[in-house]
């Protein structure tokens, strides 16, 4: 006799508790079709999980191991397992330990663990350089701006100004610097060494990359983030700023609502134009929740900077744009209509285990 189990294993920082993005205001909530709007009460992931008898939720590997030990040896237990975490919160050894634990238990006749999330791909969401290698394997290197490792002594000959000096393993615009003249980089590296932010032993984590100057054409900096669930792109939004060339998140210099909505419409056009390519990338990423950040000045030239694990728009997006521009339920319904996608509900989480 077979017994099937659906298990969510949320490891830090993505254990499904009050701090999880699917619990907070900037998560999946405004994609819900009913009992929700941007500014009204909505159901939290914890509340929803508490009503689901067929999805088990564990917040540590210890809890999961206890569950495995408790299984009936007289039955064949099929465990569909979805693991949620981030590489920066896990060592390579921890990832290997989980894989070995799964392999060891699959040798038992009464257990079969089927991993529904590809933890081998965590590195791609952690390192931009790993993501670029991943894109090359997909034959999509034309979607990556020219770059060169800092460990390459000839990197200055390979790149034109302006360019970015970047750390492959930082996020949120940290350790990213805009270089307008090549002679600036020597002084910057010296200052980073003095501040101990730049360590020569990690030199292979650093690279320079061509800067795509959207402001020179648009009058402001603009980039986009596209979100996907179970490999299907479902939402796109712009980050826009007059003065921030790194993250393009406007915290001090708000654009007019007309310019913001123009960027939204441009994003929708880009989404529909490149949807097949986006879907190919998300399918290969192997995680039910994913996002891509990219710059696009025209439809033919799109440059993706990184892949991230995201469960909805970021908190900055909510604070800086949704609240500032007073975006309501009609705004999201209109986007979904133009993208030809359905709103997500917590019931969609079941599809992870299919």
The per-residue pLDDT for 106 is 93
The per-residue pLDDT for 323 is 81
Closest CA to 48 of 85, 26, 23: 23
Please tell me the distance from the alpha carbon of residue 290 to that of residue 228, in angstroms, as a whole number.
Answer: 5
The per-residue pLDDT for 202 is 66
- Phi and psi at 214, nearest 5°, equal -70, -25
What CATH number should be reported for the domain whose range is 214-353?
3.30.470
Please tell me the distance from the alpha carbon of residue 241 to that of residue 223, in angstroms, as a whole number.
Answer: 9
Per-position b or e across 180-198, b if 16+ CB within 10 A of its CB: eeeeebeeebeebeeeeeb
Write the Ramachandran bin of 18: left for phi over 0, alpha for psi from -120 to 50, otherwise beta. Answer: alpha
Please tell me the distance from the alpha carbon of residue 268 to that of residue 278, in angstroms, as a whole number.
Answer: 13
Domains of the chain, by residue range, sit at: 2-117, 150-210, 214-353
pTM: 0.90
Query: By the 8 A CB rule, do 301 and 15 touch?
Result: no
- Taking the chain (354 residues) in runs of 10, the rounded mean pLDDT of each run is 93 84 64 50 78 92 94 91 92 92 92 94 94 97 92 78 88 84 79 59 78 94 94 92 91 90 95 94 94 89 94 81 84 88 86 92
Yes or no: domain 150-210 corresponds to CATH 3.30.1490: yes
Closest CA to 220 of 177, 251, 250, 185: 250
């Amino acid at each position: 006799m077979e017994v099937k189990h659906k298990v969510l294993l949320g490891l830090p920082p993505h254990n499904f508790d009050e701090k999880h993005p699917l619990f907070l205001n900037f998560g999946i909530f405004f994609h819900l079709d009913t009992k929700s709007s941007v500014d009204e009460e909505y159901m939290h992931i914890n509340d929803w999980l508490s009503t689901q008898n067929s999805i088990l939720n564990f917040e540590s590997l210890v809890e999961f191991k206890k569950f495995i030990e408790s299984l009936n040896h007289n039955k064949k237990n099929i465990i569909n397992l979805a693991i949620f975490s981030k590489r920066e919160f896990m060592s390579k050894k921890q990832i290997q330990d989980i894989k070995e634990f799964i392999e060891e238990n699959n040798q038992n006749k009464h257990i079969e663990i089927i991993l529904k999330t590809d933890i081998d791909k965590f590195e791609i969401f952690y390192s931009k350089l790993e993501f670029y290698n991943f894109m090359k394997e997909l034959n999509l290197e034309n979607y990556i701006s020219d770059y060169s490792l800092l460990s390459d002594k000839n990197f200055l000959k390979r790149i034109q100004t302006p360019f970015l000096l970047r750390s492959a393993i930082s996020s949120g615009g940290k350790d990213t610097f805009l270089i307008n003249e090549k002679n600036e980089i020597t002084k910057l590296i010296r200052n980073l060494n003095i501040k101990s932010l730049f360590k020569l032993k990690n030199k292979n984590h650093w690279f320079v990359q061509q800067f795509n100057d959207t402001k020179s054409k648009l009058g402001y900096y603009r980039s986009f983030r596209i979100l996907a669930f179970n490999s299907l792109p479902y939402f796109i939004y712009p980050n826009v700023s007059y003065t921030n060339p790194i993250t393009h998140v406007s915290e001090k210099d708000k654009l007019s609502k007309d310019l913001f909505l123009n960027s939204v419409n441009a994003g929708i056009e880009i989404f529909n134009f490149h949807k097949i390519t986006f879907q190919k990338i998300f399918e290969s990423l192997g995680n039910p929740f994913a996002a891509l950040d990219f710059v696009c000045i025209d439809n033919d030239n799109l440059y993706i900077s990184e892949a991230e694990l995201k469960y909805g728009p970021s908190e900055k997006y909510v604070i800086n744009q949704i609240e500032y521009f007073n975006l309501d339920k009609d705004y999201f319904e209109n986007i979904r209509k133009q993208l030809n996608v359905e709103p997500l509900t917590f019931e969609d989480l079941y599809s992870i285990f299919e």
